[in-house]
Structure 1
Amino acid sequence: METATVAQRKVPRPRADALRNRERIVAAARDMFVECGAEVPFDEIARRAGVGNATLYRNFPDREALQREVVCSVLDRVSEQVEQMLAETGDAFEALSRFVHASAEERIGALCPMISETFDDNHPDLVASRERVEGLVEVLMERARGTGRLRTDIAVGDLMVAISQLTRPLPGTACLNMDRFVHRHLQLFLDGLRAPARSELPGTAVTMEDLRRA
């Protein structure tokens, strides 16, 4: 039997329509997780995405796979925004502020509860997306510190915890009705990050590694 050529051994690329279906599923799932919680029926997600149930299950065999893809897609979009901010010249602190408000628009606080005890937060895809955004935000924060406008006693962990907490809907409150409060409170938080610091923070700056050890 002849040896297969390199071209024959290549895995075929997904068709464009298959990629579009996958993107529609992830977008619909993200919106419905935010609106209804992580246990929203797959049937409803498929209906919102405009695909059949078979298409949804072909892309995502179980809920954890879909949740992971939603979280990764959100983190990757945030990373792309930070990369764009880092490529721009201008006020580094204002770029950091834009990142914080953009994270709120991605509903990061509403999606955080999906990472439950059954969620594999050490999956390679999730680790890669998480490390990418953490590294980029650290660079952004370091640039803002270098201009003297960001206080020096905070780290990436402090920032990410605050974003998660301040963008999470209050119990019994619809997430989509929280925007007018979220951005207002995030701006108050950002004002507290400005140097010179007007108070001394208790404890020490929190890194992402500190959070993972907690």
Structure 2
Amino acid sequence: MGYVSPVTVDGSKSRDSRKLRADALRNQQRILAAARELFASRGLDITLDDVAEQAGVGVGTVYRRFANKQELIDWVFEQHIEGMAEQAERALANPDPWAGLVGFFESACANMALNRGLGEVLKSLDDGRERVACVKERMEPAITAVIARAREAGELRPDAEPGDFFALIHMVDAIADFARPIDPNVWRRYLALVLDGLRADCKPRAPLPVAPLTDEQIHAAKEACMRRRR
């Protein structure tokens, strides 16, 4: 059998190839958009079938683009972690060490409050998530330097360590997740309390930015949590 050119005389084969590539790109964009929405609202426990249904494509199309859910997580959250790395670098460049520290942790908590999956990614191991792991490796030294600079400037209590911030930011994320259906901004109150506890002695405390949850709101938030677990 002789060689057959992939492009016919009238160019139809070439046009078909371009159309196929365009369709594949559109499908990938739809899959990523669906995954971003589902990870943000429901966390990492979603399945690729859920993503396919949300994107309006067959599950086979999802598997052709992403071998497994870990690979999809890597693609979706690389940009989020990259943004956090850039925020840490901007905080380090802020001439006011305390303002830089507060600005970074406030933006990190805001991102996590809006995106349930982001907090889960930051707390989880990076197995199978090479893209996310690379960006996290870049981010961590900048965060450590932001904390050290505030401590050396006498703005941060001298015994505060980077590991404390990892724990505290996830404490704030926990209240954000709990209260999200009732008051998505109440986490700001608890972040302010956390930061006050980290402030060096004799430094002024900022006013709390929002009111606490009422008893009725706490009850409603508990009911919303129970519904999510069913």
User: In structure 2, what is the Cα distance between the partners aligned to 1:100 and 1:55?
Assistant: 38
User: In structure 1, what is the Cα distance between the partners aligned to 2:84 and 2:28?
Assistant: 19
- 1:1-214 counterparts in 2 under 5 A? 25-26=31-32, 28-46=34-52, 48=54, 53=59, 56-87=62-93, 89-107=94-112, 110-111=116-117, 112-113=119-120, 120-121=126-127, 123-169=129-175, 173=178, 175=180, 177-196=182-201
User: In structure 2, what is the Cα distance between the partners aligned to 1:23 and 1:55?
Assistant: 12
- The SS at the match of 1:106 is helix
Query: Percent identity between the aligned chains?
Result: 33
Name stretches of at least 5 consecutive residues in structure 1 with no aligned partner. 1-14, 199-214
Q: Could you state the TM-score of these two structures normalised by the residue count of structure 2?
A: 0.62
Cα distance change, pair 169–84 in 1 and its aligned pair in 2 (3 A):
same
Q: Which has the higher contact order (CA 8 A, sep 6+)?
A: 1
Cα distance change, pair 83–114 in 1 and its aligned pair in 2 (3 A):
closer
Give how far 1:122 is off.
7.0
Q: Can you list the C-alpha shifts for 1:66-89, whole angstroms capped at 9, x where unaligned?
A: 2233343322110012222333x4
- Matched letter for residue 150 of structure 1: L
Name stretches of at least 5 consecutive residues in structure 2 with no aligned partner. 1-20, 204-230
Cα distance change, pair 181–147 in 1 and its aligned pair in 2 (3 A):
same
Q: Could you state the TM-score of these two structures normalised by the residue count of structure 1?
A: 0.65
Higher helix share: 2
Cα distance change, pair 19–193 in 1 and its aligned pair in 2 (3 A):
farther
Give how far 1:17 is off.
9.2
Cα distance change, pair 180–80 in 1 and its aligned pair in 2 (3 A):
same
Give how far 1:176 is off.
5.3
Give how far 1:149 is off.
0.6
Q: Can you list the C-alpha shifts for 1:157-182, whole angstroms capped at 9, x where unaligned?
A: 110111012112578x4645453221
User: In structure 2, what is the Cα distance between the partners aligned to 1:134 and 1:73?
Assistant: 16
Q: Which has the larger radius of gyration?
A: 2
Note if contact 1:96-1:140 (Cα within 8 Å) is conserved in structure 2: yes
Corresponding residue for residue 212 of structure 2: none
Give how far 1:192 is off.
1.1
Corresponding residue for residue 5 of structure 1: none
Cα distance change, pair 73–147 in 1 and its aligned pair in 2 (3 A):
same
Q: How many residues align?
A: 181
Note if contact 2:176-2:186 (Cα within 8 Å) is conserved in structure 1: no
Note if contact 1:33-1:40 (Cα within 8 Å) is conserved in structure 2: yes
- Matched letter for residue 188 of structure 1: L
- The SS at the match of 1:67 is helix
Give how far 1:128 is off.
1.8
